Structure 1
Amino acid sequence: MNDEQKTLWDYGAHAPGPPLSGHVLVGMDGSDEAVRALDHAAEEARIRRTPLEILHGWPWARHGVPTAQPGKMDVQCLIDKARSVLEFAAGRVHERVAGLDVVTTLSPEPAASELVRRGEGAALTVVGNRGLGRAAGLLAGSVSLRVAAHCGSPLLVVRGESEQRKPAEGTVLVGVADDADADAGAARFAFEEAHQLGAQVRVLRMCSVPELSGSLGAHPAGRLESEPKNLIRIQESEDAVPPTVVAVMREKFPEVGVRIDTVWRDAAHALVDASRAADTVVITAHHHSGRRSGRQLGPVEHALLHHAHCPVALVPVAWQP
């Protein structure tokens, strides 16, 4: 917190309390995208029977007072604007979900960093984004992308292109790669989400086709048909996935129906296409260190955040519920 931000508390703001635990956290800046995220977050808190925390972080006046900066205009205006955003959000939640425990948090810290910090102990953090279209250039620097690159707990990104929530499909889609152990957290989250929603889980297993020489790569089906040994290797690998990733979850959630499909194509395109018939798509968040911009997401995660047809849940590799 810098000196300018500290002076904000002199105008009647209150420092945020300690981070909560086991709750649903949502970022709220007053935008249409944030309102859609708020609605999803309220529903998640309802079905999980947990409190909902609504966070409003700096810069507060991006919507409605675009030139507002500490020290350059009436700081009280910023405080009032921030409070009005939180009051609107809390009122909307109470109207839509009666009896839900709602906590509002006003922070002088940047929204992305505060969402990451306060989301460490959350069961789920929810943010909105603008998707593509006219604001495509804004996504790369958006709060949602910065949070996604650093989150230590599950993050739900509500895609901003649909003005209204599409009809429920009754399916939670989860992507599983060849390295199945790395996707255990994502699989667990998908089953828990399906259990809460009364939905089924569709496991989309992304496979690399073995080269004829034994290495990994893509080959036309015609050449594979003439190589029985390769097909046997592929089938053995495919049969190994349910015990390592799905079997434990099936025992824990026996009421959840499961469908397992294997695809021999680009993971990003396959998941985006399959997301058309899903309520949520769940994938492991693989964080990579970029030379210039620090931690970054992988190409599959980027593709889903830009093009998925339903909300995207990113589950860190090391996440433990």
Structure 2
Amino acid sequence: MTVNDPRITVGVDGSAGSTAAVTWAAKLASRRRLQLKIVHGLQVAGLYYGGGMTGIGAATLFEAVQKDGERAIADARTLAASIDKDLVIVTDLPNDPPVPTLIDESRHARMLVVGRTGTGGFTGMLVGGTAATVAAHAHCPVAVIRGRHDSAIVPETGPVAVGIDGSPNSEQAIAVAFEEASLRGVPLVAVHAWNDIVYEDTRGTARILTQPGTLEEGEDRLLTERLAGWPEKYPDVEIGRVLVRDRPRRALLEISEEAQLVVVGSRGRGGFTGMLLGSTSQALVQHAQCPVLVVRPERKA
């Protein structure tokens, strides 16, 4: 998570999900002593092209949309300042669609934060896959702020959980998860889920492994190897291990009911080439019971 600009960026739209995202992002920026950038995309292209409006009507509607955006920005700024009066806050209100805006903002952020739902400038922040799209293409980790049972109640207690599968992207998720657990002063739960069905070719031919005991020993060894060295780097972080024969998404969704944050890589070792967001990450972004932090592979210069 090394980026030129030391900032946390949050996308806002005035919805309840957006309010939760601003609160979470402001607390994180305050804790890290980073700048907070609040962004709202106006999404005004349709007012002029294909929207059936021209002249005074389009101008009037644009003015209303802009005022809504300004109000969302102002409310978010007031909320963030109430959390930390010394927080450095900047804002932006571009006349651009939300997804390209957020992806571009991710080039200059330590972390990008979005709510689980949206209205106005960020309509359909989950419906239609906007959050998943941002998480799949961003240049920094993306936090999707989810509450318990689809509510606005975002948990602030419980451990940080991380999904581990042995992929390079999983290694990056482990690094971020330890940092977040240390920052919060809470335990880290390392979750490694596996099953005894493997696919042997591109046609999806499956076979069931006949030595589950031997396989479990290997998976336990993999988890141990992936955690090696981290206790020395973060001696303040208590580490719990969960090794379960199950689908990763189900195991992580279950632990999200007790965690305050779940960290995953955007793609695991079972992902298909060209799939920018794996099925486990997608499931968590849409159904987790706590905020989800999706860690993207590092971009090569």
Please state which band the TM-score falls in when normalised by the shorter chain. Answer: 0.7 to 0.9
Aligned to 2:121: none
Aligned to 2:289: 309
String of CA shifts for 1:18-43, please: whole Å, max 9, x gaps. x9712100001111111111111001
Task: Give the TM-score of the pair, scaled to structure 1.
Answer: 0.76
Aligned to 1:108: 95
Of 172, 176, 197, the residue aligned with 2:160 is: 172
| Residue 11 (structure 2) pairs with residue 27 (structure 1) | yes
8 Å Cα contact 1:185/1:319 also seen in 2: no
Which stretch shifts more, 159-168 or 50-59? Answer: 159-168
Structure 1 pair 167–102 and aligned structure 2 pair: CA distance change class (3 A): closer
CA root-mean-square deviation: 3.1
SS in 1 for 2:81: helix
Which structure would you say has the larger Rg? 1
Aligned length: 276
| Letter of the 1:234 counterpart | E
| Residue 230 (structure 2) pairs with residue 249 (structure 1) | yes
Structure 1 pair 165–242 and aligned structure 2 pair: CA distance change class (3 A): same
Of 270, 273, 279, the residue aligned with 2:260 is: 279
Aligned to 2:217: 235
Aligned to 1:55: 39
| Letter of the 1:207 counterpart | W
Counterparts of 1:183 and 1:69, CA distance in 2: 48
String of CA shifts for 1:265-297, please: whole Å, max 9, x gaps. 11111110111110001110028677xxxx652
Aligned to 2:245: 264
| Letter of the 2:14 counterpart | G
Matches within 5 A, 1:1-321: 21-59=5-43, 72-74=58-60, 75-130=62-117, 139-159=126-146, 161-166=150-155, 168-169=157-158, 171-177=159-165, 179-209=166-196, 227=211, 231-243=213-225, 245-286=226-267, 296-318=276-298
SS in 1 for 2:41: strand
Counterparts of 2:190 and 2:281, CA distance in 1: 17
User: How high is the sequence identity, in percent, across the aligned residues?
Assistant: 27
| Letter of the 1:298 counterpart | G
| Letter of the 2:236 counterpart | E
Counterparts of 1:70 and 1:285, CA distance in 2: 42
Task: Give the TM-score of the pair, scaled to structure 2.
Answer: 0.81
1:314 is displaced (CA, Å) by: 0.3
**Structure 2 residues not aligned, in runs of 5+:** 119-123, 199-204
